[in-house]
Structure 1
Amino acid sequence: MKRILLGLLAAGAVSVSARLDKPNVVVVFADDISAREIPFYGSSVWSDTKGRDTQDIAYRAKTPVLDKLAEEGVWIKTAWAATVCSPSRAMMMTGRYANLHKWWHNGDLGGIVKNGKKTDWVVPLYVSSPLLIGHVAQKAGYATQWTGKTQMKKCDHRMFGFDEGVFTPGSYLFPKNPYTDFVLTTVKGKKKTQVNEDTGVELSHYAQTSWYWKPSVALMNHPSVPPATAEQNCTYWPVSEEDRKNYGVNTYGPDVELDFIFDFMERKHEEDEPFFVYHTTHLGHDGFDWLHPESGNKWPGTPVIKWDGKKYIRTEPNVTGDHGKYDTHGTVTEPGMHSHVEYIDFQIWQYLKKFEELGIADNTVLIFCADNGTSGYGKASPDRQKGCHVPFMVYAPGADFTKKGEQDILVNIADVLPTLADIMGYELPADYQIHGKSLWPYLTTDQKEHREWIYAYRGGMQLIRGRKVMKDGYGKWWDVGRLPDDLISFRKINDWEKVSAAHRAERDKLKNILPEFNNHDAEPDFVIE
């Protein structure tokens, strides 16, 4: 089959800028949230506090702000990422699939082979894919900030095209944080055993440093601190005496992230410089609950918020105690995915308020999406689209959109990079291959379709979907012509003679596409000649 190239699609970007003038762009990339957790997707099933399927309305998130933006902007019925964090973030940042960027699965990240010898065990994305979303924004004349989760192992974070970084890194990447004891440290000589540094108690969990309560926060090139050294690649926050005085168990990581984002936005607006914010929030990701260390909670609670019909009211956290014995005094929500989704809704409302305050609401594009399926349900799963079906919404009130509300089209997370190029007015080099396809022409012209198929991966497993059929990572085929109430219970195709000729034709087409991306076993690493 003729080699399929899906890149090189930003030519004429300025002509489809939809009358926006160097619009500011914010991408909110949530963590481990399936499309089914977002109410406007209409799923009949969602996750309970332990990650099990439920139809209990008590665990159904309420998202008045996202609901409104989905109605006034556009939301994509079927958007795919990869099936788990690292390769999905690689797809987002590179606009490419794993056959090029080489990040196949968590724990299966290709290395660098030079002159026939493997020199590095993890290839940084800026080596395998030197044009990342941050670089696109910089080349288009934008100030850039990356805030939140990184998951970029063995990388220099200054190489991704971001002028500033505010990282809540979790358990790796940076030296030990001196400000927080909300840490699970691996016990030497004891397999799968960690110690809770706050209590001294050993337990079986995965090692991590808190990104929620009493979080670890690292700054890169922030004006409040001296430039980081090459060895550190970061400076830990809090920096000032006042911030150190206020930092503690009541400090909530997602709030810190948004404070730094808004500071960045204010500074760049004052300097009359368009900005790009890549906000990789941890919200949605499970984590150890240091406030209730023996509870086994999957998703720790957030600060209490309330929607009064017009605005959100947030209750200031009042957590007291130490060494694993804490009283939240009713200022922290119950644990659960629904609480995290609702806090995202609150933060999206805060974004909108800030846009209005700065007078940039009509010249700002907001994209909300997620990296993979919910933990306990879809995360890392190659079964049907459990692992890769994610929410995707675009809101740009000042853009000349020709579409509104629900869009029954196919979108890949790889499409974000060329979409940003179009929005920002940057023409991708003709000789640089990507797999993403810009969504902007679909949103701003009379174009009827966006893609004929979408693709995902889990290591060497390949998933692909068209309009009629889908192949999952196990090699099973499904009829996707009708969306089931739970967004996943498609009819399995066991006898191809019992489906239409159009179904068989699409199957054959999809099967012919897969070999181009199927080099996991033959070319797992990035080769430098």
Structure 2
Amino acid sequence: MDRRQFIKSSGLVAGAALQGSVFAAASRPDKKRPNFLMITCHDLGQHLGCYGIKEVESPNIDRLASRGVRFANMFSTSAVCSPARGALHTGRYPQTNGLMGLTHAPWWWKFKNGETHAAQMFRKAGYDTCLCGLQHIFGAGEAGRYGYDKVLGRKKGAEETVQVSSEFLVNRKADDSPFFLKVGFFEVHRRGGSFKHREYDPAKPVHVPGYLADTPVMREDLGRFQEEIRYFDSCVGRILDSLQKSQCAENTIVVFTSDHGIPYPGAKWTIRDAGIEVPLIMYMPGGALSGGKVCDAMISHVDVLPTLLDMAEIDKPANLEGVSFADYLAGRSDAKPREEIFAQFTPAMFRDNESRCVRTEKYKLVRFFSAGRCVKYPIDVDPVRYAMHKERAATNWKPRPFVQLFDVQNDPDELNDIGGEKGNAEIVRDMSRKLYAWMKAVDDPILKGPMESPYYRDSMEDFENAASG
């Protein structure tokens, strides 16, 4: 199979433009393109009531899901913030767009020259493009360079973000130009490694994932995390209330998602499902994005942008690597958008699990490219100390294998590696071929040798300049 055939079969290119779709401007009497309100947050995973975590109080996001479409199998392309967000906003994988790790110091990853952001695509199509709150994929002062007409508000705190975005929505007129409004929250990220700014009520039920030890320390931290989610949910609710009061409510597509999994060992910083599963909820009154439906097709962050462009009838750049699922949502195609999803983790924050993965509906294969030992599950640590790099997860002292395989249908917490079982050798070979083909297609630099981080390159340049001076 050549590169072009692989890309088509695995959903690495956007689908054909919709013709007469229920989302398209041509299908509405006023022929007005839809507005887009995209709300994102940090570290949420699928830790929400509407995703089955009943101990979590998230009534506003749950209500959005009950009115729109909830995507049950939505995955990030990375287990840390910047590369995940970069893929969401470019429709291209981290290896391709260059943003493979954290963008802030001392990691300094950034987009390759000439990379095109979603805001640039919408602005070129005549949209007003506005950023409010956190973005975490480019430097301060670069919003205009990446396509935003305006940055709303001076601070990135949650309360100002709610206030400023709400004012924008309420003041918007029905006959104004269409808008793309990106609203980003720092929540539900840890602050200084903890959630101690939130109250813990031992009487409230707490959800402890199966890959974490159910200890008093873990339970208290998770309880505080749930309170952080409850607060964030209230912020989302206030923004949605403002949209509902506005003149643009009937013509606005709401897109809600997060960057990666929850901030706990065995989740964030790993490409286990717990590290790359994210929410995706979309809503627009009437039509395919309403009715409280659940879509069980596998979707990747890279698929969101081509889908939005199709919904707005905007021509898609030829280099997009995601596949549009707009036809699937509209009922014009019975074929699910993709057969597998892919993700990468480039070491950050002193984690030693450089890895790539491919996941189907049945299996998950992970390949590692840095030395390490097998972690003992369920993980028993103080999650605050772990987040602050003062404690590591215990291991069984066995070398971590080059490859792991999990039956994610029967082992969703990925506790039983079946990659070494003789009966699974062909599955390992087949999925390894798929993963290798994807890595070739996105020109993954790790195929050419150990990764060089921006810090390493800058350090060597400084060293050579000093030595030759």
Q: If the length of structure 1 is used for normalisation, what is the TM-score? A: 0.63
Residues 483 and 34 (structure 1), Cα distance of their counterparts in 2 relative to 1, 3 Å cut: farther
Q: State the secondary structure of the residue aligned to 1:354.
A: helix
**Matched-pair contact (CA < 8 Å) for 1:110–1:122:** no
* Aligned equivalent of 1:12: 17
Q: Is the aligned partner of 1:427 residue 2:427?
A: no
Match among 13, 22, 27 for residue 38 of structure 2: 27
Letter in 2 for 1:30: C
* Aligned equivalent of 2:125: 140
Query: Alpha-carbon deviation of 1:32?
Result: 1.0
**Matched-pair contact (CA < 8 Å) for 1:29–1:281:** yes
Q: State the secondary structure of the residue aligned to 2:83.
A: helix
* Aligned equivalent of 1:2: 2
* Aligned equivalent of 2:409: 482
Residues 389 and 11 (structure 1), Cα distance of their counterparts in 2 relative to 1, 3 Å cut: same
Matches of 2:103 and 2:237 in 1, distance apart? 36
* Aligned equivalent of 2:206: none
Alignment of 1:445-484 (within 5 A): 445-448=331-334, 449-459=336-346, 461-474=355-368, 475-480=402-407, 482=409, 484=411
Q: Is the aligned partner of 1:102 residue 2:98?
A: yes
Q: Percent identity?
A: 21
Q: Is the aligned partner of 1:90 residue 2:86?
A: yes
Matches of 2:70 and 2:312 in 1, distance apart? 21
Residues 376 and 101 (structure 1), Cα distance of their counterparts in 2 relative to 1, 3 Å cut: same
Match among 124, 138, 143 for residue 157 of structure 1: 143
Q: Is the aligned partner of 1:298 residue 2:195?
A: yes
Residues 301 and 109 (structure 1), Cα distance of their counterparts in 2 relative to 1, 3 Å cut: closer
How far does the alpha carbon of each residue in 1:182-213 deviate from its partner, in whole angstroms, 9 at most, with x for none? xxxxxxxxxxxxxxxxxxxxxxxxxxxxxxxx
* Aligned equivalent of 1:514: 439
Query: Alpha-carbon deviation of 1:151?
Result: 2.0
Q: Point out the structure with the larger strand share.
A: 1
* Aligned equivalent of 1:223: none
Q: If the length of structure 2 is used for normalisation, what is the TM-score? A: 0.70
- Structure 1: segments with no counterpart, 5+ residues: 44-56, 112-120, 169-216, 219-252, 289-295, 303-333
Q: State the secondary structure of the residue aligned to 2:61.
A: helix
Query: Alpha-carbon deviation of 1:105?
Result: 1.8
* Aligned equivalent of 1:79: 74
How far does the alpha carbon of each residue in 1:237-261 deviate from its partner, in whole angstroms, 9 at most, with x for none? xxxxxxxxxxxxxxxx212112111
* Aligned equivalent of 2:263: 375
Matches of 1:281 and 1:445 in 2, distance apart? 33
How far does the alpha carbon of each residue in 1:45-80 deviate from its partner, in whole angstroms, 9 at most, with x for none? xxxxxxxxxxxx8xx321223223323322122211
* Aligned equivalent of 1:498: 423
Matches of 1:512 and 1:478 in 2, distance apart? 18
Letter in 2 for 1:166: L
Query: Alpha-carbon deviation of 1:500?
Result: 9.9
Match among 331, 347, 352 for residue 240 of structure 2: 352
Query: Alpha-carbon deviation of 1:94?
Result: 1.2
Matches of 2:69 and 2:444 in 1, distance apart? 35
**Matched-pair contact (CA < 8 Å) for 1:458–1:473:** no
**Matched-pair contact (CA < 8 Å) for 1:40–1:67:** yes
How far does the alpha carbon of each residue in 1:310-333 deviate from its partner, in whole angstroms, 9 at most, with x for none? xxxxxxxxxxxxxxxxxxxxxxxx
**Matched-pair contact (CA < 8 Å) for 2:49–2:57:** yes
Q: Is the aligned partner of 1:265 residue 2:159?
A: no
Residues 519 and 297 (structure 1), Cα distance of their counterparts in 2 relative to 1, 3 Å cut: closer
Matches of 1:354 and 1:14 in 2, distance apart? 32
Query: Alpha-carbon deviation of 1:498?
Result: 3.0
How far does the alpha carbon of each residue in 1:332-388 deviate from its partner, in whole angstroms, 9 at most, with x for none? xx9822122222322332233222212433321111111012222356422522321
**Matched-pair contact (CA < 8 Å) for 2:419–2:428:** no
- Structure 2: segments with no counterpart, 5+ residues: 200-221, 347-353, 369-401, 455-469
Alignment of 1:31-430 (within 5 A): 31-35=42-46, 37-43=47-53, 60-81=55-76, 82-106=78-102, 122-124=109-111, 127-129=113-115, 131-154=116-139, 156-166=142-152, 217=155, 253-269=157-173, 272-288=176-192, 297-298=194-195, 300-301=197-198, 336-378=224-266, 380-401=268-289, 404-429=292-317
Letter in 2 for 1:38: L
Query: Alpha-carbon deviation of 1:473?
Result: 4.8
**Matched-pair contact (CA < 8 Å) for 1:463–1:473:** yes
Query: Alpha-carbon deviation of 1:497?
Result: 4.3
Residues 393 and 100 (structure 1), Cα distance of their counterparts in 2 relative to 1, 3 Å cut: same
**Matched-pair contact (CA < 8 Å) for 2:42–2:260:** yes
Matches of 1:397 and 1:348 in 2, distance apart? 18
Letter in 1 for 2:323: K
Matches of 2:137 and 2:420 in 1, distance apart? 43
Query: Alpha-carbon deviation of 1:40?
Result: 2.2
Letter in 2 for 1:433: N
* Aligned equivalent of 1:318: none
Task: Say how many residue pairs are matched.
Answer: 375
Residues 397 and 434 (structure 1), Cα distance of their counterparts in 2 relative to 1, 3 Å cut: same
Q: What's the C-alpha RMSD, in Å, of the aligned pairs? A: 3.3
Letter in 2 for 1:512: A
Matches of 1:284 and 1:86 in 2, distance apart? 15
Residues 167 and 254 (structure 1), Cα distance of their counterparts in 2 relative to 1, 3 Å cut: same
Residues 167 and 504 (structure 1), Cα distance of their counterparts in 2 relative to 1, 3 Å cut: farther
**Matched-pair contact (CA < 8 Å) for 1:147–1:280:** yes
More displaced 10-residue stretch of structure 1: 340-349 or 255-264: 340-349
Q: State the secondary structure of the residue aligned to 2:100.
A: strand
Matches of 1:14 and 1:266 in 2, distance apart? 32
Residues 483 and 421 (structure 1), Cα distance of their counterparts in 2 relative to 1, 3 Å cut: farther
Q: Point out the structure with the larger helix share.
A: 2
Q: State the secondary structure of the residue aligned to 1:394.
A: strand
